[in-house]
Amino acid sequence: MQNDDTATDAASRDPRYAALPGRPGKIIAVHLNYRSRAAQRGRTPAAPSYFFKASSSVAASGATVERPTGTELLAFEGEIALIIGTAARRVGADRAWEHVAGVTAANDLGLYDLRANDKGSNVRSKSGDGFTPLGPVVLDARDLDPSRLRVRTWVNGELAQDGTTDDLLFPLAQIVADLSQHTTLEPGDVILTGTPAGSSVIVPGDVVEIEVDSPASGESTGRLVTTVVDGPDVPFDRTLGSLPQVDDMQREEAWGSREAAGLGAASALSPELRAKLERVPVAGLSQQLRKHGLDNVTIDGVAPLHPDAKLVGVASTLRFVPNREDLFHSHGGGYNAQKRAFDAVGEGEVIVIEARGETGSGTLGDILALRAHARGAAGIVTDGGVRDAAAVAAIGLPVYSAGAHPAVLGRKHVPWDTGVTIACGGTTVQPGDIIVGDGDGVIVLPPALAEVVADAALAQEDEDAWIAARVAEGEPVDGLFPMNATWRARFDAERDAR
């Protein structure tokens, strides 16, 4: 893209911009753009979204980046950076690449400790000095096929990220065209195009290397090298603004998973609580939830393939929207939300599917049910249909559905999103809710109430069993069911004696 004289002039102006034509007027970054990253995050955007980074955050290859004192979650993100060559305003996707002069490697560093009060703007978390290393070589965009580029990241010599542009949710030309609808892209502006799965936390002493290349042509930016160091012992001033703060959610997102962050499984369902819920019937749970004011917690219209099997697990959600041909074309093929949900389901989780009660097609078949079983899923609940119902039943996984149907997904549905609040069988289900099912149906337990409701339901089961025994002995139900004071005293005495 540039000759040696241009690079030398840029370096003489400011070494941070040595690989660039000069200081960028704008740095615009895409929030989420790789399917692998979307699967890791459990959400897939329908359209691209963006944030700005300060041009003062640019650094050259070989520079160091400071992790501020009092923080713990500095994370790397290897990305493909586009450098605008000619002004672009309201250009179409078919002509957008003509406005890109060069391609280079980028590290979209971010400090998760500072995200809490900036929401999606990332002003403080992404614009620190040295938080946007770029380089070391800019490739001429005219020589590149934007659909066949690769980005890789190494941390301390170990490969951490390996993504290609055929995994993008939004192609590079679409990103340029979309941004040009809203703002004029000017020469020298930089666009960071998203990061694949594998981003994680780095600490002082770590060395991060990022390379963008074209496997087809062999062209490469070389490795962009950044070393993490401790920042000076100068804490953030609490009188000026928000201080660093972290919680387990931020740790999970920064590290890439709860396991990598050392947090263990994210579940309110302990082994002890699971054992209790496996003993108590859904009808008993429904009775106790009603005492807490919760009547709308049953997933209606579904029946089990295995009526004698008990289902207990934590909800992992998948949402379908009504089929529209253009949307199915963009969201239904490839590694879509349905496939990602079944590939990502964790041990002890229940895949709960919103299909709007539409039974005119299948929402899963035997291959996906087998995948869920192999990953240790507790079961599947869908208010839509099941294909290959006999084969799904043979797998042995507890499955609840609104019936069998031979048609494929695309007849009625577009797989849209995962990890979001959904409506299934007339009730709201959130990721992390506890799902319990038996021959009577399926119920949703809010995690905060699960323990107390389970204990109360078990106590009620003991009481009901005692009453049933008295009825079997010939006692009339009047005064016994429910128990009056006399019967209550007798029950309490016998219970205490046990």
- The answer to whether 107 and 209 have CB atoms below 8 angstroms apart is no
Q: Helix, strand, or coil here: 175?
A: helix
Residue 143 CB partners (closer than 8 Å, separation 6+): 217, 219
Q: Over the range 436-456, which residues count as b (16 or more CB within 10 Å of their CB) and which as e? A: bbbeebbbbbbbebbbebbeb
Alpha carbons 237 and 148: distance in angstroms, whole number: 46
Among candidates 451, 205, 421, which has minimal Cα distance to 319? 421
Supply 336's token pair: 């879509």
Supply 68's token pair: 């501020």
The 10 Å Cβ neighbour count of residue 315 is 23
437 annotated binding-site participant: no
Alpha carbons 366 and 348: distance in angstroms, whole number: 19
108 annotated binding-site participant: no
129 annotated binding-site participant: no
Name the H helices within 280-361: 282-291, 325-331, 337-344
Strand intervals (E) in 193-289: 207-213, 224-230
294 annotated binding-site participant: no
Distance of CA 493 to the CA centre of its chain: 53
Alpha carbons 53 and 190: distance in angstroms, whole number: 10
387 annotated binding-site participant: yes
Look up residue 147 and give its amino acid: S
128 annotated binding-site participant: no
Binding positions for Mg(2+)? 388
Binding positions for substrate? 365-368, 387
Binding positions? 365-368, 387-388
